[in-house]
Amino acid sequence: MNIEAVVYRMWGIRNLRKKIFLVIGIVVGIMLLDQIYLHIWQSTPNTPFQRSLHVDDVRQLLRAGEDAAITTILFDPVILHAWSSNSHVAVSGACIFLCHVIGPLTFAITAAQLRDKPAFLSRLAQLGFTITLFETPEGLRSHVFLMRQGSPLHLVVLHPHSSGFLRQYTLQGPPHNVAQVKQYITKDAWNQMKFDRAYERFSTVEARIDDVELTIPSNIDIFIVDHKNSHFIPCNESRAAYYNLKYLKDETPNEVRFKHKAWKLLAKVKTLLDKLKIPFWLSSGTLLGFYRQCDIIPWSMDVDIGIAIEDYRPNLIKEFEKKGLRLTHKFGKVYDSLELSFKEEDIKLDIFFFYTEGATMWNGGTQAKTGKKFKYVFPAFTMCWTDFLDIKVRIPCQTEEYIKANYGLSWFTPVKQWDWKASPANVRENGEWPESEWSEVIVVNET
């Protein structure tokens, strides 16, 4: 054998060895990855990535509802949006929308149905569901999780409120129950369940999704917007009780009369602004009263609300005056420090328009005698709902930060003497209006 042949043979053997080691490495790598995957799967059993929804679970849920005369409403905004946008791609026999949910598929039932139809839960158990029931500290049923074959089904329990909206309570309960269901829920879905929510009442229709006959909200677009903006913050009754105990709530007949008139004015303003589709929130003293004592401050003598300047409508003044609210003050311009004041009988309504500036929001003030401008600066905030004396209204979600910005760290202590130009913690001087513009930016009509 010549040298060339020997070298060639040796090179072939070396290449063969390389190939063998390469194959062995790949096999070992696959085995290691498989073990890692198995470890993850075992340490997080039945996560949404391992358990997909079985459409038969949905059919059995609906069957239990029919047997107990309960209507279950598909209440999942992601699935509803996907279906309403792509319903034309539905294929008979294929599970296109329901089976691709990440996290639990959500339905809604009313508290009255769950209370008055005890056979519903029994029927679910007969059909093979494992039931985990959650209640509020007051004993109100709030959430139900159902496990059968696939990923869990989630039932939100809606409670009708005297103010006309539907209340969803936050998910809370025994730690072992929370841990049991949390393992099947995505982080985003879990965060969505940690808030109280408030929804407008809605009608329903029947729809066929993935060959399943379901009940869904009639107007999906409105439902999706309502769901997105449904975060609800209840009044803290414990704090209010402590405040009233500490400061000995004792109101004069005039103060009681003012509170009644102020409540009527707030309810009327809500009706008007809702009709104009102008969102507003409680501000200044009215917000302080809500947050501190769940009530109207009896000596405040006015009602305060905030509106983003982007939501201003030129016909607002005219529409208010049509309903008996007389314009008494108009300060500033639409693009700078706009403020409106109205009166109904002897009760004043102040509307502060808010402007966004970087990471802050501010409303303006004007001194009528001098033309001096003031600015009240707040950290940027978002909107939440609350129930204030049986009126569903918006408040800043970051309520305490808003209150502290306006009233300082001593906001809990009642103050009956208040100078709007000097007392607020967040007031800043903001220049002056040129005297040539006073007729436009300072309109006073007290007659």
pLDDT score of 441: 96
Verify that 144 and 185 share a domain, yes or no: yes
Mean pLDDT of 381-408: 97
Task: Enumerate the β-bridge partners of residue 157.
Answer: 109
pLDDT score of 5: 46
Place of tokens 């080691």: 21
CA 62, CA 50: separation in Å to the nearest integer? 24
**Would strands 105-110 and 153-160 be described as parallel, antiparallel, or unpaired?**
parallel
Cα 429–chain centre separation? 35
Mean pLDDT across the chain: 88
Verify that 225 and 251 share a domain, yes or no: no
Verify that 252 and 227 share a domain, yes or no: no
CA 48, CA 298: separation in Å to the nearest integer? 53
Q: Per the structure, how many domains does the chain have?
A: 2
* Whole-Å CA distances, 24 to 20, 32, 36, 302, 317: 6, 12, 18, 82, 81
H or E segment and range at residue 115: helix 111-116
Mean pLDDT of 344-372: 96
User: Quick check: is 3 in a domain?
Assistant: no
Report the range of poorest mean pLDDT among 63-77, 86-100, 322-336.
86-100
Cβ neighbours around 179 below 10 Å, total: 9
Per-residue pLDDT band for 19 (boundaries 50, 70, 90) equals low
Place of tokens 């005369």: 69
pLDDT score of 51: 57
**Would strands 336-344 and 281-282 be described as parallel, antiparallel, or unpaired?**
unpaired
Cβ neighbours around 369 below 10 Å, total: 6
- With a cut of 90, say whether residue 328 has pLDDT above it: yes
DSSP 8-state assignment for residue 47: -
User: Quick check: is 11 in a domain?
Assistant: no
- With a cut of 70, say whether residue 447 has pLDDT above it: no
Q: State both tokens at 122.
A: 């029994």
342: helix, strand or coil? strand
pLDDT one-digit tens code per residue, 289-317 = 999 999 999 998 899 999 999 999 999 99
pLDDT one-digit tens code per residue, 148-203 = 887 889 999 999 998 899 999 999 888 888 888 888 888 888 888 889 999 999 99
Report the range of poorest mean pLDDT among 4-8, 198-202, 371-375, 384-388.
4-8
Mean pLDDT of 267-296: 97
Percentage of residues of the chain with pLDDT beyond 70: 87
pLDDT score of 22: 52
Verify that 270 and 388 share a domain, yes or no: yes
Q: Which residue, 334, 425, 418, 428, is CA-closest to 374?
A: 428
pLDDT score of 446: 72
Mean pLDDT of 373-391: 97
Per-residue pLDDT band for 29 (boundaries 50, 70, 90) equals very low
CA 148, CA 124: separation in Å to the nearest integer? 10
Identify which has the larger pLDDT, 92 or 339.
339
Cβ neighbours around 216 below 10 Å, total: 21
pLDDT score of 248: 82
pLDDT score of 103: 73
Verify that 226 and 311 share a domain, yes or no: no
Verify that 153 and 120 share a domain, yes or no: yes
223 with 202: CB under 8 angstroms?
yes
306 with 332: CB under 8 angstroms?
no
Verify that 213 and 244 share a domain, yes or no: no
- Reported for 382-386, long-range contacts at CB under 8 A and 24+ positions apart, including other chains, are 383/229, 383/279, 383/281, 384/231, 384/232, 384/233, 385/165, 385/198, 385/229, 385/230, 385/231, 385/232, 385/233, 386/232, 386/233, 386/234, 386/235, 386/290
pLDDT score of 18: 53
Verify that 242 and 319 share a domain, yes or no: yes
Identify which has the larger pLDDT, 191 or 127.
127
Q: 18: exposed, middle or buried (C-beta count within 10 Å: 0-12, 13-18, 19+)?
A: exposed
Per-residue pLDDT band for 413 (boundaries 50, 70, 90) equals very high
Place of tokens 């209204």: 393
CATH number of the domain at 59, please: 3.30.460
Verify that 256 and 353 share a domain, yes or no: yes
pLDDT score of 7: 38
159 with 143: CB under 8 angstroms?
no
Verify that 180 and 251 share a domain, yes or no: no
Mean pLDDT of 136-152: 91
Verify that 131 and 269 share a domain, yes or no: no
User: Quick check: is 249 in a domain?
Assistant: yes
pLDDT score of 243: 96
Give me the domain span that covers residue 122: 55-232
User: Quick check: is 434 in a domain?
Assistant: yes
pLDDT one-digit tens code per residue, 35-88 = 333 333 333 434 444 457 788 999 999 999 999 999 999 999 999 999 998 866
